[in-house]
């Protein structure tokens, strides 16, 4: 008869402990396949347990397939593989750690002090207290209607764009939307991307197996002739503020790009990264707002303007692709939690977003001025040329130097400085991109400028 030291069960219930003991014996082979277990009553008497306890353990073993019953004959051990000693599976690699830099010009940290956290928190509390069940109510796959209406209103008021909330698709950030658009455009699509350009765009399309054709930029953006020659069916562009060059595409070029799309039946994905942080003049009319043929997919996110940790972006689909989306991809549930959508809808519709942007523009205009002045007064001022178009949280800085970008990067890292280079954004290596830094100044506090310039003077020393 099975004999187990029930008093050694520790915190486990009697039923649980008995189940584990028998399972261990089955897995170790001590109980062989086909062997009959003692009847419940017999085992209960033997171990001084109630029949219900044994019944529970047997039922569990049966549910998991360790034993089976034969009618009127009782419980039998099922054929089960022995547990082999675990082979050595390599331990998971330790997570890559973010280094703490003395100066980081490669990545913009959104300045937390600038975001109205207390307003956001207040709106969150309001949604929770006025309608906590909103957390649980299903959200339409394209996103909360109130949020899509607020986005459409914002686009109309501040970008002069006509977008029906029904055309808007809300999703968890730019990369998720790229994934969705790639599926919408179909596996036959060939995507022209800007060169240089944001590498994640190429990475996402590439990861889905869509061929990417890097198209070099001239002084106005993507050249329609080069685009036509590329054989692409879709062009992914940021005409309103190209990253990292800062280029703004003028109206005639925009029209030429639209004509390419109309003539070829192609599409333009207008990726409106960063365009809210334009410091001078009116915003440029978007491609979407001058599109007469329904060839433009407009997308934007709130990552730069609110926080990269609030994953929220949207696409405005032209009618034909909206219909296609509903036909093929509407099975995807909306990826943004209901709470964030409710709060952002209020944040937009009550004007907090507009005020926040106005404050950010003012702050960053001042910061930009201070940063540019510090560069121009630096010991290396005579060796640099800065190109900036009055928009965004970065500018390009071309350095006269005999060193390679890689040598500069290594020397910088030795000094605790992280630099970003234009050459990192190039799909096709091009000597013209060398020696050019992408200076992300979003995290550069004015008080930190003297130390930053001193560090850079060391990095740049010949």
Give me the 101-120 binding string for a copy of itself, x by CB under 8 A, dash otherwise: --------xx-x--x-xx-x
Alpha-carbon distance of 431 to 19, in angstroms, equals 70
Structure tokens at 12: 């486990």
Nearest to 61 by CA among 45, 72, 74: 74
Between residue 119 and residue 138, which ones bind a copy of itself under the rule CB under 8 A? 120-121, 124-125, 128-129, 132-133, 135-138
CB neighbourhood size of 206 (10 A): 14
Alpha-carbon distance of 439 to 384, in angstroms, equals 12
Identify the residue among 319, 369, 446, 450 touching a copy of itself (CB under 8 A). 319
Identify the residue among 47, 49, 105, 139 touching a copy of itself (CB under 8 A). 139
Alpha-carbon distance of 346 to 344, in angstroms, equals 5
Between residue 54 and residue 93, which ones bind a copy of itself under the rule CB under 8 A? 56, 59-60, 63-66, 78-81, 83-84, 86-87, 89-93
Nearest to 456 by CA among 397, 395, 390: 397
Between residue 147 and residue 166, which ones bind a copy of itself under the rule CB under 8 A? 164, 166
Rule CB under 8 A: say whether 251 interacts with a copy of itself: yes
Closest contact distance (angstroms) between CB of 456 and a copy of itself is: 24
Identify the residue among 328, 355, 359, 362 touching a copy of itself (CB under 8 A). 328
Contact 312, 173 (CB under 8 A): yes
Alpha-carbon distance of 63 to 67, in angstroms, equals 8
How many residues touch a copy of itself (CB under 8 A)?
110
Closest to a copy of itself by CB, 85 or 431: 85
Complete DSSP assignment for 60-74: HHHHTTSEEEETTTE
Question: Which residue reads 């096709």 in tokens?
Answer: 428
Closest to a copy of itself by CB, 340 or 453: 340
Q: Which of 149-157, 290-298, 378-386, 425-433 is the region at the interface with a copy of itself (rule: CB under 8 A)?
A: 290-298
Rule CB under 8 A: say whether 334 interacts with a copy of itself: yes
Between residue 194 and residue 213, which ones bind a copy of itself under the rule CB under 8 A? 199-200, 203-204, 207-209
Rule CB under 8 A: say whether 252 interacts with a copy of itself: yes
Nearest to 152 by CA among 290, 304, 349, 309: 349
């Amino acid at each position: 008869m099975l004999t187990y030291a029930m008093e050694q069960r520790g915190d486990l219930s009697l039923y649980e402990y008995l189940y584990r003991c028998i399972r261990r014996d089955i897995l170790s082979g001590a109980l062989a396949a086909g062997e009959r277990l003692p009847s419940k009553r017999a085992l209960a008497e033997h171990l001084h347990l109630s029949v219900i306890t044994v019944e529970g353990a047997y039922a569990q073993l049966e549910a998991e397939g360790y034993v089976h019953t034969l009618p009127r004959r009782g419980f039998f051990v099922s054929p089960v593989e022995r547990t082999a000693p675990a082979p050595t599976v390599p331990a998971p690699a330790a997570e890559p750690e973010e280094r703490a830099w003395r100066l980081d010009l490669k990545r913009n940290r959104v300045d937390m002090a600038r975001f109205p956290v207390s307003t956001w928190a207040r709106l969150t509390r309001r949604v929770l207290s006025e309608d906590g069940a909103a957390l649980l109510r299903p959200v339409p796959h394209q996103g909360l209607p109130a949020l899509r209406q607020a986005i459409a209103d914002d686009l109309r008021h501040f970008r002069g764009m006509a977008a029906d909330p029904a055309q808007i698709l809300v999703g968890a950030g730019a990369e998720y939307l790229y994934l969705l658009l790639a599926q919408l455009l179909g596996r036959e699509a060939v995507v022209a991307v800007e060169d240089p350009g944001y590498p994640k765009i190429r990475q996402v399309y590439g990861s889905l197996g869509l061929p990417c054709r890097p198209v070099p930029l001239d002084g106005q953006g993507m050249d329609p002739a080069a685009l036509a020659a590329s054989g692409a069916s879709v062009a992914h562009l940021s005409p309103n503020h190209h990253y990292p060059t800062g280029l703004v595409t003028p109206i005639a070029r925009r029209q030429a790009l639209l004509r390419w799309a109309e003539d070829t039946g192609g599409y333009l994905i207008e990726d409106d990264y960063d365009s809210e942080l334009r410091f001078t003049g009116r915003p440029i009319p978007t491609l979407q707002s001058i599109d007469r043929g329904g060839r433009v997919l407009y997308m934007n996110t709130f990552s730069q303007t609110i926080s990269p940790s609030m994953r929220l972006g949207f696409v405005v689909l032209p009618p034909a692709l909206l219909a296609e989306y509903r036909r093929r991809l509407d099975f995807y549930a909306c990826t943004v939690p209901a709470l964030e959508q409710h709060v952002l809808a209020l944040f937009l519709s009550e004007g907090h977003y507009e005020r926040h942007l106005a404050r950010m523009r003012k702050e960053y205009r001042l910061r930009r001025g201070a940063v540019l002045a510090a560069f121009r007064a630096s010991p290396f001022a005579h060796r640099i040329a800065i190109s900036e178009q009055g928009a965004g949280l970065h500018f390009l800085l071309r350095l006269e130097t005999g060193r390679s970008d890689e040598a500069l990067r290594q020397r910088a890292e030795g000094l605790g400085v992280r630099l970003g280079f234009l050459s990192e954004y190039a799909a096709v290596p091009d000597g013209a991109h060398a020696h050019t830094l992408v200076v992300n100044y979003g995290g550069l506090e004015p008080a930190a400028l003297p130390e930053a310039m001193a560090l850079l003077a060391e990095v740049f020393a010949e």
